[in-house]
Amino acid sequence: MRPFGKPNRLGSSPSRGYLPGASSFVQFRRDPHLLPFWGLSLLIMGLAVPLFVLSGADPSLAGCDESFYAQMARELLRGSNWLGPTFLGEPFFEKPPLLTWSVALSFALYGINEWAARLPGILAALLSIPLVGWIGRAFLPTRAALLGMAVLPLCYLWVQQGRLVGQDVPLTCLELLGILGLVNGSRGHPVWFWLVGVAFGLGLLMKSAMILLPAAALIPYLAQQRRHWLGSAPFWLGMLLGLGIFGLWLVPAMGVYGSEVLATLVGKVWDLGQEPFHADATGWYYFWHIPAHGFPWTVLGVVGGILLLRQKPASTLLIWSFPLLLFLLLQLYPTKTPYYTVQLYPWLALLAGVVLDQALPLPLRTASTGTAGRGSRRDRPHLAQVLSWGLAAVGLLLLGLGVAVRLGVDGLQLLQPHAWPLVVMGLLYLLLPGIWSWRRVLHHAGELWLGTLLAAGILAMVSILLRPDFGNFSPAFAQLDWNQMLSETEPVETVVDIGRSGLPDVCQAQAIAFYTPNPGRWVDDQALQQGEHGDYLWVSPVQAEQVDIEDLGLQPLAEVEGWQLVRRSFSDAGSGESS
């Protein structure tokens, strides 16, 4: 990797332009002490831990997809075949089993509970913080990489998705691991290419063909570095190893379940590529969703990409081209979901770190416009000045919104818990122009400016995390008292079937299945009417509207959010089969 032409080039030299001096990439390349950077990266990861465990209430899993994967993991521990994880006894092959395996392992270590179910995602989100920093330090000034790591856990969507049972944050972590191996392998350490293959294989096991999207986004960097990997035996052997890792599951699974395994995997990817599964996700969906769910860092990330394109597009190709191409590929993909964009956030955070790095330190003086020609760089405002006034405008809006919430304006009741945080965030953003204006008087003005900006982000995250409904999707089901609902003669482990009437109630059906101590099997509308179920059954709200429960010989025992726990009447108990 070629160093920048001059020290501080990305940050610009104070004597050469309007951007102040940043940490020198050349100086970092010559620094033999790598341990301080590793130590700081691990420190930032440790400081981010509270953002992934802080909670305003006891957590409960969402129906889609948290409870689904958690229930499959529970069934693995109860004797299901690890080659073909099942949900209520039915094998599931639309997604590979790595996530289910990791949740099952967490259950085995820490018991079956919500935190154990979410632990793999939390660990992946935390591990991604140093990974993105280690990637960034190969191309960017040290400070930019460190600031990128600090920004990532302040992105709302990253923390929100990292605290869920899902595939996208672990998949992103594997992508970063593979890219780190690719970068180090291309810099003269071919043994790292083996890591590329391992990450590729695990990515296939996590979300099958979705790993091909980030692989396609790497094409510009692969083309640039082709002389390092194209003829490298470790690279190709590593890729074969990755395919072998995937094959270690796929081949035995097909031996047990037949061609259904591969047909279902391919069919799911094909279906997602043929039609949008989220009708509200229009072509403009990502254009507003990404800025809104990571503000201000995602917006700064776009600015950072522009800065790299203007300053050193070739030497920082990976940092700006990968997120750009990945965004375009996601935009072209018909199905659009919030969690698909999770893969972009580590890179946007790194690009935001570039912006913050170039904004520091705050200069003690600005050049006089009389000493430079019209349109020269000396006439341009300092980057920190532009950011200060832009965020101050946002702060004014937040301050006004917080005051309106405190005054009880109609329509803002949902924001009531955030009234004071909105006010404080607004004031913090409004302080930024003041710090800029008083930079000649204030000691460590640059550090104060950066600390104020980060403090606003931390306050925003903490305010959201302390909401009682954050991460608490199914509180009514999680608080079921089974000893009270079942008769004294029936054990809590009594098999209870789960009613479901197609798509309208599938998410709640998945949640209630996980929170039922011993769920049986699915019972659709036809099976319900024909009595093809066990002695105990959850009847969904949709099913309850279609049939008369008493006419079917079912006795209601309890009702939770429209779901009715029923039991066969004593006279009909012998007519059904317990699953």
For 495, the token pair is 């098999």
Which are the contacts of 271, defined by CB distance < 8 A and separation ≥ 6?
A: none
- Predicted local distance difference test score (pLDDT) of residue 64: 84
Cα–Cα distance, 493 to 520 (Å, whole number): 11
- Read off the pLDDT of residues 137-148 as tens digits, 9 standing for 90 and up: 999 999 999 999
Query: Is residue 26's pLDDT more than 60?
Result: no
CA dihedral 503, 507, 511, 512 (to 10 degrees): -40
- At residue 262, what is the residue type? L
Question: What secondary structure letter does DSSP report for 472?
Answer: B
**Extended beta strands in 84-167, E state:** 86-87, 90-91
- Read off the pLDDT of residues 297-351 as tens digits, 9 standing for 90 and up: 999 999 999 999 999 999 999 999 999 999 999 998 877 888 899 999 999 999 9
Question: What secondary structure letter does DSSP report for 20?
Answer: P
Residues 509-513 have a mean pLDDT of 93
- Predicted local distance difference test score (pLDDT) of residue 403: 94
The average confidence (pLDDT) of the chain is: 86
Query: Is residue 439's pLDDT more than 90?
Result: no
Residue 33: band (very low, low, confident or very high) from pLDDT cuts 50, 70, 90: low
For 125, the token pair is 């989100």
Identify the helix (H) or strand (E) that includes residue 567: strand 563-568
Query: Is residue 578's pLDDT more than 90?
Result: no
Cα–Cα distance, 138 to 208 (Å, whole number): 29
> For the whole model, what pTM was predicted?
0.88
Three-class secondary structure of residue 83 per DSSP: coil
- Read off the pLDDT of residues 95-154 as tens digits, 9 standing for 90 and up: 999 999 999 999 999 999 999 999 999 999 999 999 999 999 999 999 999 999 999 999
Residue 59's closest CA among 514, 493, 501, 394? Answer: 514
Residues 234-250 have a mean pLDDT of 96
Question: What secondary structure letter does DSSP report for 60?
Answer: B
- Read off the pLDDT of residues 158-176 as tens digits, 9 standing for 90 and up: 999 999 999 999 999 999 9
Residue 559 to residues 72, 127, 485, 522, 573: CA-CA distances in angstroms?
A: 25, 42, 9, 19, 21
Q: How many CB atoms lie within 10 A of CB 577?
A: 11
Residue 66's closest CA among 17, 109, 108, 122? Answer: 122
